[in-house]
Structure 1
Amino acid sequence: MPRTPSQVWIHFISANLEGKAVYSCKYCAKTYVKNATKMQQHIAKCPKFSQSSKQATPDKSSSASIRCENDSDSDTLSSAPGHSGIGGLLDSMDERSQKNADECFARAVYATGSPLMLTANVYWKRFLNVLRPAYTPPSSHALSTHLLDREFNRVQAKVKQTVDKADCISIISDGWSNVRGQGIIKYIVTSPQLIFYKSTDTKDNRHTGSYIADELKAVIGDLGPEKVCALVTDNAANMKVAWAHVKETYPHITTIGCAAHALNRLLEDIMALNTMNTLYKTAKQVVKYVKGKQVASAIYLSKQKGKNRNATLKLPSITRWGGVVIMYDSLLEGKPR
């Protein structure tokens, strides 16, 4: 459906100035090119705008009763409906307020992992328009460029401030592969508050002890060697080699193996026992069968519902032994009693 025309045009007279279309305010003769936002802001502040018209404007309490109209299930709507009447015209935002609102909106998008195309959705447009008619949400391009850069710089400055104030910090480092198969190493600082410091793409570099040590020493150098008192990594052989390199350069730093990783390795050894391995394979086979067969899955869920249970079978993860325990618990929870 077509966009509802803005009511601002009734307060301006169109004219042609040197071959260019311009619009003059009926009350003070101030001239604008075709820009409804600036014209709307002008009317809100125009000193000669009739007081009778302003008195006819609904107050804030009445505007709170505005409802989302034209509710439609169609996704073909191209824009949110604007507010009719003078009330919508008098709502305006100065540059500082607009900037602050954009930053808050962007931070909410980044923190929740929401899609950057959120503001292109007609229902979000309508919702924001009802809350604040004068507010124009940022585009997906703005969210992915200068607003993202601004938020990144803000967070980096806050991290630096926290590190600078700390008398003693520790570094926690771990590596993994992302969804694209790229090798990533992350660095977390404790002051003792946990702070995500940064992550690096290792590209085509092998995760040798020497390479990891160089990366760790670079981070230690950035943070300030005199502040770093401990380094925590997993217990892999390449990490132990890296520890030796780090301690050679910074003897005062204590290197510590990850307790969770040590426990995980211990449980891996236990799971390698024949009895435990057989139990694990049998349990996993049962779960995969029920979850993979449509009829078996439907019967299982029906029986659980009949017993007022919400038990669901869970497969273990491939990296942590805790997933095996969760699988066993799901089987015991769904077992007939």
Structure 2
Amino acid sequence: MYDAGLPFNCVNHKSFDKFIEAVGQHGPGMKPPTFHEVRVTHLKKEVDKVEKIVEDHKVQWTKFGCSIMMDKWTARNDKMTINILVNSPIGSVFLRSVDASNESTDSTKMYKLFESTIERMGPENVVQIVTDNASENVKAGSMMMGAYPHIYWTPCAAHCINLIFGDIFKVKPYASVCRPLTKVLCLVDGEKKPSMGYIYEAMDRAKEAIAHGFRGVQKHYEKVFQIIDARWSE
């Protein structure tokens, strides 16, 4: 790892455990793969495996429909990337990434990205597009729903809650609201099971807990509820 500059978290991958176990079982004299084998032979096998997985997902897309998820993030070197994933009942699969470092991502350009992805997937297979709540995405989502009336734009629930935290602490650092909202954030940001069927009930329970934290005195928590409702209903 040190010699090749590999990231330290590679030891947390399941494949690392299998790799160590395989080497240990072979014992002394194991021949490592050549540069050509790693670059061509074995890589092609892995690509074939991934393509088979994607084909299995495509069956689900055409049968049940799918959600397109776009995740925009900026690296430490200020490089902006938009990762595009597709979600269906059997899980999510990475579709592609777009380098947005050298150009602005205004509403028109985001709409073009929505459109090209929808057309690639087949409009009849797409149920919704999920992005964060940035203003350009809100506008692009409205344009997209005008062009594709059967496809919804849906804001990211985790981003909504992060914005709620920011709005609340701009007004006043309400310590008594953090724990209930953090529970909702952990639910929607988890990867163990889909949370769509639980998030609205979870938010209702969080609001009940917040009201209880203020001993049921409405004037003490009504501003918090207004902030939550404004973001949650976007």
TM-score (norm 2): 0.57
Residue 175 of structure 1: aligned partner: 72
Deviations 1:226-273 (A, max 9, x none): 010111111110001111232233221011111211111111011123
* Contact 1:169–1:227, Cα closer than 8 Å, also in 2: yes
1:94-118 deviations in Å (ceiling 9; x for gaps):
xxxxxxxxxxxxxx9995586xxxx
Tell me how far apart the structure 2 counterparts of residues 178 and 164 of structure 1 sit (CA, whole Å): 34
Query: Cα distance, 1:204 vs. partner?
Result: 1.0
Cα distance, 1:184 vs. partner? Answer: 0.8
> Counterpart of 2:126?
228
SS at match of 1:272: helix
Moved over 4 A (4+): 108-114, 132-135
Cα separation, partners in 2 of 1:110 and 1:265, compared to 1, 3 Å: closer
**130, 135, 149: which one pairs with 1:251?**
149
For 1:253, give the aligned amino acid.
I
The 3-state SS of whatever aligns with 1:251 is: coil
Decide whether the 8 Å contact of 1:171 with 1:188 is kept in 2: yes
User: CA 1:144–1:200 in structure 2 vs 1: closer, same or farther (change >3 Å)?
Assistant: farther
Helix, strand or coil at the partner of 1:196: strand
Cα RMSD over matched residues? 3.3
Paired residues of 1:159 and 1:197 also in contact (CA < 8 A): no
Q: Is the 8 A contact 2:68 2:86 kept in 1?
A: yes
Q: Which stretches in structure 2 are left out of the alignment for 5+ residues?
A: 1-9, 176-184, 187-234
Q: Cα distance 1:250–1:208, how it changes in 2: closer, same or farther (>3 A)?
A: same
Please give the TM-score of this superposition, normalised by the length of structure 1: 0.41
Taking the TM superposition and a 5 Å limit, the aligned residue runs for 1:136-155 are 136-139=31-34, 142-155=37-50
CA contact (8 A) 1:188 1:198 kept: yes
Matched, 1:240 2:138: yes
Name the SS for the 1:158 alignment partner.
helix
CA distance in 2, matches of 1:207, 1:139: 43
Query: Structure 2 residue aligned with 1:214, among 103, 108, 112?
Result: 112
Change (3 A) 1:141 1:227: same
Count of residues in Structure 1 that have an aligned counterpart in Structure 2: 162
- In the TM superposition, residue 183 of structure 1 has moved relative to its aligned partner by 1.1
Change (3 A) 1:241 1:130: closer
Contact 1:182 1:203 in 2 (8 A): yes
- Answer 1 or 2: which has greater helix percent: 2
2:93 is aligned, of 195, 198, 206, to 195
In structure 1, what is the Cα distance between the partners aligned to 2:58 and 2:163?
A: 33
How far apart in 2 are the matches of 1:174 and 1:130?
Answer: 41
Gaps of 5+ in 1: 1-107, 280-320, 323-337
Q: Is the 8 A contact 1:129 1:135 kept in 2?
A: no
1:185 to 2:82 alignment: yes
1:105-139 per-position Cα deviation (integer Å, ceiling 9, x unaligned)? xxx9995586xxxx9xxxx7xx8386166752314
1:37-186 → structure 2 map (5 Å cutoff): 128=23, 131=26, 136-139=31-34, 142-166=37-61, 167=63, 168-186=65-83
Whether the 8 Å contact between 1:188 and 1:195 is mirrored in structure 2 is yes
State the Cα deviation string for residues 184-211 of structure 1 (Å, max 9, x = none). Answer: 1112212122222222222412111111
Structure 2: how far apart are the matches of 1:129 and 1:198?
36
Say which structure, 1 or 2, has more relative contact order (CA 8 Å, 6+ apart).
2
Q: Distance in 1 between matches of 2:15 and 2:105?
A: 30
